[in-house]
Amino acid sequence: MQYISTRGQTRPHTFSEAVEAGLAPDGGLFLPEHMPDISGRLGDWASLSYARLAAEFLSLFAPEIAPDEWHALTARAYSKFDSPEVAPLRKITGKTYVLELWHGPTLAFKDFALQLLGLLYKRQVERSGKRLAVLGATSGDTGSAAIHGCIGQEGIHIFILYPHGRVAPLQERQMACTGADNVFAIPVPGTFDDAQSVVKECFGDAAFTAAHNLSAVNSINIARVLAQCVYYIWAWLRLRDLAGQGTDAAGGVEFVVPTGNFGNVLAGWMARQMGLPVRSFRVATNQNDILHRYFTSGDYRQGDVRPSHAPSMDIQAASNFERYLYFLLESDPAKVREVMARLKNADAVNLPAADPAFRSTSMKDDQIIRVIAQMWKDWRYVIDPHTACAFTGMATDCTSIVLSTAHPAKFPDVVKQATGMEPVHPTLEALKSLPLVTHRLPASAAEVKSFIARHS
């Protein structure tokens, strides 16, 4: 299995090469050259543990890593989750289930991909003998999940920039209270975009990038998307255990996915392309509704980001959307290049009609509060503001699986406003008394590069 770029101007890469590169050299995103058909394997996979299922699935995409080694990697990656099922599927009503994706170390779904990515980085360091400096910018969840994937890994240093004073206090603590000497939490003045542009400038310096073996952690690594496919398969298998084989006859299943960067829902859609029998997906956005506008009216145009109660979805440029575009544009990289160039210039683009397997909804902040309150009142189930965005426009003619992307205790203020109670989690409580270690730097690539040079 080789990996091609959505923009078609990069030689085919192996899985390991594509993981190491992150972004393709031509500016595109990596995709597997073909989608394996998994439909005939689902029966065999039904009895596997989460880690074993992940190993079987990922082996199809990276045959250069032996199945036993894959199993060692996934067993380790998912050993830090606080549920034996890793991703428990919970029944709320006869037709509504919640897939809890927040049992990992940072209590958000990004742990599924980043625990594994940290181990893939480690494997790379062991094989090449070269130290790795991982660099990224975050507005919250990605940074902490990336850090927890790299904590204590020999030969890896991780540097995460974030806008000073603009990430939630608990998210900052998750990054800055690890006590690990290979982790550097770096607040910089300005917004997330300012932090992001410093990171981009660092990567623009090819000599520096090569000298320090700099690797980007962001939402577009192909390993992240593939790791996320696994929990869709897992959920589909568990639904059959809970609801029986009749689910398909009863209208099939719709996955409802709170999304901003389109990374999570893209993984589900790819699993469907591989033969997972999913009826449909609902893209659930907050008030930053570029994806909702696209799926309802065909209009894909970036606006300004308006901060919401679901901050990890405050995005107007859905970076993973390019992978879906590639399929939508008949796998023609020339068409992808043209559309991406027009988007960059903020020109109007005409996209073909969306795959009818997608629906979408969007939710404003006041409704997020009402939904959290209602879920608590009706079902005694507390959800976080991102998950809340899923609970509108629920399908009536099929079973729904809502992907719950974060533990409510990560967003205590909004949840307390809705339910009157402050949600807590022991992991987060423990952080409150630990010393905060940050490395404040100016928003300057020169300063950040010199810091990395001194500490990696």
Ligand X SMILES: *Cc1c(COP(=O)(O)O)cnc(C)c1O
Catalytic residues: 110
**Residue 305 DSSP label:** -
SS3 content of the chain, % helix, strand, coil (to 5): 45, 15, 40
The tokens for 320 are 């993973």
What's the closest the beta carbon of residue 269 comes to ligand X, in angstroms? Answer: 11
Distance of CA 90 to the CA centre of its chain: 21
Q: Which residues sit opposite 403 in a β-bridge? A: 99
What's the closest the beta carbon of residue 37 comes to ligand X, in angstroms? Answer: 25
Instruction: Let me know: does 114 contact 148? Beta carbons within 8 Å.
Output: yes
| Residue number, 293 or 439, with CB nearest to ligand X | 293
Q: What is the Cα–Cα distance from 63 to 82, expressed in whole angstroms?
A: 30
What's the closest the beta carbon of residue 360 comes to ligand X, in angstroms? Answer: 12
Q: What is the Cα–Cα distance from 89 to 122, expressed in whole angstroms?
A: 31
Residue with tokens 């923009």: 7
The tokens for 237 are 């298998």
Which residues form the interface with ligand X (CB under 6 A)?
Answer: 108, 110, 141, 219, 258-265, 312-313, 386, 405-406
Output the CA angle 53-59-63, nearest 5 degrees: 170
| Residue number, 65 or 217, with CB nearest to ligand X | 217
| Residue number, 57 or 262, with CB nearest to ligand X | 262
Residue count of the chain, please give it. 456
Which three-class secondary structure state does DSSP give residue 308? Answer: coil
Q: What is the Cα–Cα distance from 122 to 69, expressed in whole angstroms?
A: 13
Amino acid 103 reads: H
What's the closest the beta carbon of residue 191 comes to ligand X, in angstroms? Answer: 18
Q: What is the Cα–Cα distance from 38 to 60, expressed in whole angstroms?
A: 9
What's the closest the beta carbon of residue 102 comes to ligand X, in angstroms? Answer: 8
| Residue number, 304 or 330, with CB nearest to ligand X | 304
What's the closest the beta carbon of residue 405 comes to ligand X, in angstroms? Answer: 3
What's the closest the beta carbon of residue 210 comes to ligand X, in angstroms? Answer: 29
| Residue number, 70 or 262, with CB nearest to ligand X | 262
| Residue number, 213 or 221, with CB nearest to ligand X | 221
Q: Which residues sit opposite 258 in a β-bridge? A: 284
What's the closest the beta carbon of residue 417 comes to ligand X, in angstroms? Answer: 18
Cα dihedral 246, 252, 257, 262, rounded to 10, equals 130
Q: What is the Cα–Cα distance from 22 to 30, expressed in whole angstroms?
A: 8
Residue 414: which of 319, 312, 345, 343 has the closest Cα? Answer: 312
The tokens for 112 are 């599924």
Which three-class secondary structure state does DSSP give residue 446? Answer: helix
Q: What is the Cα–Cα distance from 56 to 41, expressed in whole angstroms?
A: 10
| Residue number, 182 or 259, with CB nearest to ligand X | 259
| Residue number, 164 or 386, with CB nearest to ligand X | 386
Q: How far apart are the first and last CA of the chain?
A: 33
